[in-house]
Structure 1
Amino acid sequence: MGGLPKRYGGLDRTVIEAIELGGIQAERAVVPRLAELRGPGMRGRSSVLVEFRDPKLHSAFRRTGSIVPWRSTTTWTLVRRWAEAEGSADLDEAMCLEVVRELKHWFDGRLRAWVATSIEGRGS
């Protein structure tokens, strides 16, 4: 990625690229489906949660500002760098799943990632 500051190299650069590519894949997968939304659907927001098995990878995510603590000392929330699905819980969850797939592709075995969705009710 030519647009990254020079201070990001090696593993830090890989972390940023993986998250950004995951975001691009998420938007590509979901944006066309926004036009198909019919009815109110479920309203909500999703997040990508991560646990690290590799201390070096964990450090790289922290150095790049890519994670914030969640409710436990071992689980982190990925800082969102992709669009939200206009309040649609289903589509937002689908976007986050794309990011999880990308993280698992890049860092298989070095982290555990999953999606948590907060349902806010039915849309109007």
Structure 2
Amino acid sequence: MLRFVVKTLINAAAIWIAAALVKGITLTAGDWQHKTLTVVLVALLFGVVNFAIKPLVKLFSLPLFILTLGLITFVINALMLWLTSWASGRLNLDFHVNGFWPALLGSVIISVVAWALHLVFKDED
């Protein structure tokens, strides 16, 4: 359970940083507490999207993984972020990604920040 909480908080921090750095990613909640709750809920939603949909997309795009030597992963991550934005809109969360290019840049930032935070906060099994 602790592992799940740590991963969710790391994803929340990464999403918050991406929203601060990328012009097309907005987190428009009101005060600091509302933004914190929103970004944690978005991180949970992002985790669900990555857990449920990403393996199927990777399976069906296996030839593209081979053809692009794995670089299609960036596109798939951007699509997962974009899908999270769409689902956030349906759930009335104040998180939006305006287009593919902000989603691509945001997914790269989220991946790098999450990787760095995972190095700092070791995953104890």
Q: What's the TM-score, normalizing by structure 2?
A: 0.39
Structure holding more strand per residue: 1
More helix by share: 2
